[in-house]
Amino acid sequence: MSSEAEIQLDVLDEPTHMVPVDSLSIEDCPRLEGEDLQHTQLLLASETVLPPILVHRPTLRVIDGMHRLRVALLRGQSEIAVRFFDGSEADAFVLAVRSNAVHGLPLTLSDRTAAATRIVTSHPHWSDRAVARVSGLSPKTVAAIRRRSTADTPPLNTRVGQDGRVRPISAAAGRERAGRLIAANPGIPLRAVAKEAGISVGTAHDVRERLASGRDPVPDRERRGAGARARGRTETNVQQLPARPVSPGVLRDRARNPAVLVHRLLKDPSLRSTETGRTLLRLLDAQAHVVQTWDRLVDGVPQHCSEIIADLANEYAKFWHEFAAQSHTVAHGGDRQISG
């Protein structure tokens, strides 16, 4: 099944053809109420040249341009300018929804809801975000529609995102595979781990950090969601990377949401009362927000500048590792050692 990006690319730079108006059909339109007479009258009164309509070549059904076709008929035209789409009927419907969502007369909420219901059935591998982007609904609404419309359908293990990449619905299996890869080869690049395990680079980074601190690579909430507890896996039998001993209290802190820890620090007067402390708080607060959006940030990295961004991230990581080491020294009563 085509991805959203592929469906869009299929109609770029298509040549225009003059096609008899009486050979075209407006069946299978995403508009539940059909033609909007007021919109047709607005187009009819306009003196601008209307753009070509989009037609599904195998069926001659209008994908985008129902009202423009109606105007051509009212003006007595025998032909109309057409661009053809050669994909499947299911993809043609998706393109009709997408086209009507970005220009012309917007689809109603009922139209978009009905369209999303159909798309999650015809394109079950598409992610909620991909369907949401096409239909103009929120990902949460699409997820609710999917639950209602596919209640009797066996669940899939993967979905295709907006960029055409296949990702697992549950990251538990991918995290476990990543954990095995990192444990067997501690120096393996995160991008290699992500590609092999079918997860994002951000998730691979989190797996490495969890293993380094002696924790299960799969958070409890994800393991519960994947039903992995039934396999008898516990955090006590996880293969670990060598890590320096840390106190149980520190491990508990690390397992908490960084935003919660930063919020606690923001109340500390010893940090808030100095410029250096306030600078540190601002940095930590920004990092807490970054941690919560790892996947989106990594997926948004353009390929042409990915190496530069990776180098910068590595340099910043070195700084934070050194900062963490110095902070541990201070915590245990030692003196700071400034490197370089």
Residue 107 banded pLDDT, cuts 50, 70, 90: confident
Q: Which residue has the tokens 């941690």?
A: 291
pLDDT band at 19 (very low <50, low <70, confident <90, very high): very high
Instruction: Please report, for the chain, the start and end positions of each structural domain, with discontinuous segments joined by +.
Output: 4-160, 172-251, 256-300, 302-340
What amino acid occupies position 61?
R
The rounded distance, in Å, linking the Cα atoms of 45 and 185 is 70
The per-residue pLDDT for 151 is 56
Q: Is residue 55's pLDDT more than 90?
A: yes
Beta strand pairing call for 158-160 and 61-64 = unpaired
- C-alpha 106/C-alpha 252 separation (Å) is 51
Q: Is the pLDDT of residue 82 over 90?
A: yes
pLDDT of residue 294: 63
The alpha helices in the chain, defined as continuous H runs, are 4-9, 37-45, 66-74, 89-102, 109-122, 128-135, 139-149, 172-184, 190-197, 201-212, 220-226, 248-254, 258-266, 269-272, 275-291, 294-299, 306-331
* End-to-end CA separation in angstroms for the chain: 55
Q: How far apart are CA 190 and CA 143, in angstroms?
A: 30
CA–CA distance, 135 with 82 (Å, rounded to integer): 24
Binned at pLDDT 50, 70 and 90, residue 80 comes out as: very high
CA distance 257 to 240: 22
* Mean pLDDT, the chain, integer: 76
Distance separating alpha carbons of residues 113 and 30, to the nearest angstrom: 10
Mean pLDDT to the nearest integer, 29-42 = 85
**CB neighbour list of residue 86: distance below 8 Å, 6 or more residues apart:** 10, 57, 58
Tell me the range of 5-14, 96-105, 168-177, 316-325 where mean pLDDT is highest: 316-325
What does pTM read for this prediction?
0.46
Least confident of 8-17, 85-94, 192-201: 8-17
pLDDT in tens, 200-234: 888 888 888 888 888 888 887 766 655 543 444 34
Q: What's the rounded mean pLDDT across residues 322-339?
A: 71
